[in-house]
Amino acid sequence: MAGQRIESHAGDIDRLLLESFLNCGARFLSGEDLSTAAQVSRTTVWKRIEALREHGFVFESVPSRGYRLAGLPDFLHPAAIAAGMKTGRLGKTLITYTETGSTNTAIARLGEEGAREGTVVLAESQFQGKGRLGRVWASPPGVNLYGSVLLRPPITPLDAPQLTFLSVVAVARTISSCTPLTPVIKWPNDILVNGRKVAGLLNEMTAETDRVTTVVLGFGVNLNMTLEQFPPELRHPAGSLLLEGGEPIDRICFTRRLLEELDGLYHQYLNGGYGAIREEWISLCGVIQRRVRVDDGGAPSREGVAVGIDENGALLLRRDDGRVESLYTGDVSLCG
Amino acid sequence: MAGQRIESHAGDIDRLLLESFLNCGARFLSGEDLSTAAQVSRTTVWKRIEALREHGFVFESVPSRGYRLAGLPDFLHPAAIAAGMKTGRLGKTLITYTETGSTNTAIARLGEEGAREGTVVLAESQFQGKGRLGRVWASPPGVNLYGSVLLRPPITPLDAPQLTFLSVVAVARTISSCTPLTPVIKWPNDILVNGRKVAGLLNEMTAETDRVTTVVLGFGVNLNMTLEQFPPELRHPAGSLLLEGGEPIDRICFTRRLLEELDGLYHQYLNGGYGAIREEWISLCGVIQRRVRVDDGGAPSREGVAVGIDENGALLLRRDDGRVESLYTGDVSLCG
């Protein structure tokens, strides 16, 4: 299915059908029930179920009883993610590419073309997966989650870095809720489990001087990646939730939960500001009150104690002479 | 010439030929001289001169003496602007469209494709000229200057608004040097002459959380626009340098000078920071120490005394209760 693009919109037939199945537990639904739920003819119901089967959905059908959903595909099918998803702004439009350069680039193009706030792009694999500062993000097919969300927040460019912390907190919450693992945030935009990087966030914005046009929240989460799938050289030890926890992750459930967390935090951000999210970020952060070294590429690296983050998202580093510096970029490592 | 695109790069034959003519005053240059200067055959010299004639350049040719440049086109021809231009970073690549949607949009696309820092896009007319906050910028053909510069500054998104003040100062300096008029800055990004808007700046950036990817400095300057060319309804009284000063402006000289000013200020910014540019901005600003009203669309408008701008480009407004507020967006008007 290389390069295929599958779209799902709020109110689409596939979403309505899948929601009916998810709402009824393991019961059979008649063609009549499904026809009423999706407001289409029984012939259309039958055709859509055949189409979903081709995408890997498993349906049992018994002539006198109807259909039962017996299995979801191991594929980030947008209607499967959207069915039963509780969000206000996010995912009314959900697009999955079997392959794309990077989901951030794909959604940025949609943003230029006027795509609405909350549009989500997912990919089964990326051939130009992007990390922070122009680095590469390893993106093998079929095992992980690569995705991007388009926002149009009514904020100035000065406030936009706050949204990175929002998306980091959403991923950490999702790991905590879908696994028994303990995520630790590595400033500014990575998440570690057992000291190994399992997720990275890459937010990008377009803005005029005094207002943001779009913010793209990009996330890569290593879910079921195995050791052989990592590139030989990585800047930081990397892992996956499968490798750290020993259990495979249901990618559809994980993605749905992440979008719900993002949606809730974004609603909170727009209505109540950044304060509570910053507190949660700090509580999840592995470097606060620890001695760290920050390397920002050009200048000699700085050492000090990480004492917090400010309202613009800068890391506050207390140097040995007592001065507190605000750092906006760099790679952090624990000292000693 | 609707939709035509003319490119000029440092070292191109047309640039070298035109520079030879500009450097020799009104003297004739032989085919031999020109062949040596441009390092091409005399046949190529002749062909290029014929091609430039088709673009409106006027050459006299006298069999025994050679060629003399007797006139430039009334067209923002990139090689004519580049010839003799003294810049370090800007304009090594210069592109003029006879018509485009907006120069900001055109150069943003080039930036995505990897265009180098300092690339300049100009247009004779725009059919989707953009003002601040999604407004329209009237862009009739052949009389004004519409252009955009692509920068890739090594700064964080927090610092990017400073570049708006840099480009406003560059346009003000160019008006002062090319006309006897006195430009006055209207925060944040307009320039007035005699109370009428003659120029607007629209800067746009793309950025990750902790570094800027590109900044586009966009400028529209009303040079030789006549009264009939203004749309009937404008938010603010508008004018042109021709209407205010009574003298037509040489568009090529004005553009070359503006690019030189931008280049010099950008060099100063990268090496010495923002301080001196802010001082100059404040000295040119018509609202500092004046009582103003700021309308930011949604909320009720604010009144107070404009006491300065901060290092992020925010207008500092002292309210009647003594509090000083930092305003990042809005329309300013003088009170009373």
Contact residues of A toward B, CB < 8 A: 132-133, 156-158, 160-161, 164, 188-189, 202-211, 213, 312-313, 328-329
User: Is residue B271 domain-shared with residue B138, that is, in the same domain?
Assistant: yes
CB B154 within 8 A of CB B160: no
Tokens of A195: 């000291």
Banded pLDDT at A112 (limits 50, 70, 90): confident
pLDDT in tens, A253-281: 999 999 999 999 999 999 998 889 999 99
User: Is B114 part of a structural domain of the chain?
Assistant: yes
Strand partners for B202: B218
- Residues A149 and A237 placed together within one structural domain of the fold: yes
Question: B85 pLDDT band (50/70/90 cuts)?
Answer: very high
Q: Is the pLDDT confidence value at B297 over 80? A: no
B2 part of a folded domain? no
Chain B hits for A213, Cβ within 8 Å: 204
The whole-number pLDDT of residue B235 equals: 63
Band (pLDDT 50/70/90 cuts) for residue B335 is confident
pLDDT digits (tens, 9 = 90+) for B257-269: 999 999 999 999 9
What is the CATH classification number for the domain harbouring A296?
Answer: 2.30.30.100
CA distance B290 to B285: 10
The nearest alpha carbon in chain B to A204 belongs to B208
Strands B66-71 and A331-334: unpaired
Set of chain B residues whose Cβ sits within 8 Å of the Cβ of A329: 156, 210-211
pLDDT at B298: 66
Backbone angles phi, psi at B23, to 5 degrees: -75, -15
Query: For residue B209, is it within any domain?
Result: yes
Shortest Cα–Cα distance, B56 to chain A (Å): 37
Cα A124 to Cα A225: distance, rounded to the nearest angstrom: 12
Mean residue pLDDT across chain A: 91
CATH for B27: 1.10.10.10
pLDDT band of residue A1 (cuts 50, 70, 90) is very low
Instruction: Residue B160: list chain A partners with CB under 8 A.
Output: 157, 207, 209
The rounded distance, in Å, linking the Cα atoms of B236 and B186 is 11
Based on the fold, state whether residues B108 and B247 are members of the same structural domain.
Answer: yes
Task: Enter the ipTM.
Answer: 0.70
Three-class SS string for chain B? Answer: CCCCEEEEECCCHHHHHHHHHHHCCCCCECHHHHHHHHCCCHHHHHHHHHHHHHCCCEEEEECCCEEEEEECCCCCCHHHHHCCCCCCCCCCEEEEECCECCHHHHHHHHHHCCCCCCCEEEECCECCCECHHHCECCCCCCCCEEEEEEECCCCCHHHCCHHHHHHHHHHHHHHHHHCCCCCEEECCCEEEECCEEEEEEEEEEEEECCCEEEEEEEEEECCCCCHHHCCCCCCCCECCHHHHHCCCCCHHHHHHHHHHHHHHHHHHHHHHCCHHHHHHHHHHECCCCCEEEEECCCCCCEEEEEEEECCCCCEEEECCCCCEEEECCCEEEECC
Q: What is the pLDDT of residues A134-166, one digit of tens each?
A: 788 888 888 999 999 999 999 988 888 889 889
Task: Provide mean pLDDT across the span A153-181.
Answer: 93
- For the cut 50, the answer to whether the pLDDT of residue A46 exceeds it is yes
Average pLDDT across chain B, whole number: 91
Q: Helix (H) and strand (E) counts for chain A? A: 9, 15
Co-location of A159 and A272 in the same domain:
yes
CB pairs under 8 A between A and B: 79
Q: What is the 3-state secondary structure (H, E, C) of A37-51?
A: HHCCCHHHHHHHHHH
| Residues sharing a CB contact under 8 Å with residue A69, sequence separation 6 or more, in sequence order | A18, A21, A22, A57, A58, A59
pLDDT at B241 over 60: yes
Residues B302, B279, single domain; the answer is no
Please say if the pLDDT value at position B206 is more than 90: yes
Q: What is the mean pLDDT of residues B297-305?
A: 82
- d(CA B270, CA A36) in angstroms, rounded, equals 65
Number of domains in chain A: 3
How far apart CA B92 and CA B118 sit, in angstroms, is: 7
Residue B219, pLDDT above cutoff 90: yes
Q: Are residues B231 and B251 both part of a single domain?
A: yes
Number of Cβ within 10 Å of residue B206's Cβ equals 20
**Residues of B with CB below 8 A from A202's CB?**
208
Residue A76 lies in a domain: no
Question: How many residues in chain B?
Answer: 336
φ/ψ bin of B259: left (φ > 0), alpha (ψ from -120 to 50), beta (otherwise): alpha
Smallest CA–CA distance, residue B263 to chain A, in Å, is 20
pLDDT single digits (tens) A268-314: 999 998 889 999 999 999 888 899 998 876 667 889 999 988 877 78
Question: Tokens 């959903």 identify what position?
Answer: A69
**Span A81-100, mean pLDDT?**
94
Among the partner-chain residues B156, B202, B207, the one whose CB lies closest to the CB of A208 is: B202
Q: Which of A189, A203, A312 sits opposite B158 (nearest CB)?
A: A312
Task: Give yes or no for residue B311 having a pLDDT over 90.
Answer: no
Q: What CATH number should be reported for the domain holding residue A171?
A: 3.30.930.10
Helix (H) or strand (E) holding A193: strand A190-193
Answer whether A157 sits within 8 Å of B207, measured CB to CB: yes
For A15-37, how does the pLDDT look when each residue is reduced to its tens digit (9 = 90+)?
999 999 988 888 999 999 999 99
Measured CA to CA, the distance from residue A272 to residue A313 in angstroms comes to 17
Mean pLDDT value of segment B314-318: 90
Q: What is the band of A328 on the pLDDT scale with cuts at 50, 70, 90? A: confident
Q: What is the three-class DSSP state of A151?
A: strand
Burial of B67-102, coded b for 16+ CB within 10 Å and e otherwise, reads bbbeebbebbbbbbbbbebebebbbbbbbbbbbbeb
Cβ contacts of A132 on chain B, cutoff 8 Å:
208-210
Considering the domain architecture, whether residues B98 and B139 belong to the same structural domain is answered as yes
Read off the pLDDT band of B42 (50, 70, 90). Answer: very high
| Inter-chain touch B213–A202, beta carbons under 8 Å | no
Identify the DSSP state of A297. S
pTM comes to 0.80
For residue A205, list chain B residues with Cβ-Cβ distance below 8 A: 157, 205-207
Handedness of CA B285, B288, B291, B293 (dihedral sign): positive
B15 to chain A nearest CA, in Å?
Answer: 34
Q: Are residues A245 and A312 in the same domain?
A: no
For B327, the domain range is: 291-334
pLDDT of amino acid A18: 95
**For residue B175, is pLDDT > 90?**
yes
Q: For B14-28, how does the pLDDT look when each residue is reduced to its tens digit (9 = 90+)?
A: 999 999 998 888 899
pLDDT tens digit sequence for A199-248: 999 999 999 888 899 999 999 999 999 988 888 777 678 899 999 999 99
pLDDT for residue A312 = 74
Is residue A325 helix, strand or coil?
strand
Q: Is residue A79 part of a domain?
A: no
* B186 close to B179: Cβ distance less than 8 angstroms: no
In this complex, the residue of A158, A202, A210 whose CB is nearest that of residue B208 is A202
Q: A229: which residues sit within 8 A by CB, 6+ positions away? A: A138, A140, A143
Same domain, B248 and B123: yes
Is B3 part of any domain?
Answer: no
A23 CA: distance to closest CA in chain B (Å): 40
Residue A275's contacts (CB-CB under 8 Å, 6 or more residues apart) are none
Q: What percent of chain B has pLDDT over 70?
A: 97
In this structure, the answer to whether residues A267 and A299 fall within a common structural domain is no
Mean of pLDDT values over B105-124: 93
Q: What is the mean pLDDT of residues A1-5?
A: 67
Residue A227 within a domain: yes
Residue B77 belongs to some domain of the structure: no
Name, in order, each residue with C-beta under 8 angstroms of A272's C-beta and a sequence gap of 6 or more. none
Terminal alpha carbon distance of chain A: 48
Please tell me the distance in Å from B201's CA to the nearest CA on chain A. 10
At B236, list the tokens. 């603010």
Whether residues B64 and B189 fall in one domain: no
Contacts of B207 in chain A (CB under 8 A): 157, 160, 204-205, 207
Provide, rounded to the nearest whole percent, the portion of chain A with pLDDT above 70. Answer: 97
- Please say which residue of B24, B44, B71 terminates a domain: B71
Contacts with B156 from chain A: Cβ below 8 Å:
328-329
Select from B29, B45, B71 the last residue of a domain. Answer: B71
Do B137 and B278 lie in a common domain?
yes
Contact A208 B160 (CB under 8 A): no
A328 to B210: CB separation less than 8 angstroms, yes or no: yes
Distance from CA of A158 to the nearest CA of B (A): 5
CA distance A284 to A178: 17
Single-letter amino acid, residue B310 = D
CA dihedral B72, B74, B76, B77 (to 10 degrees): -40
Taking the alpha carbons at both ends of chain B, their separation in whole angstroms is 48
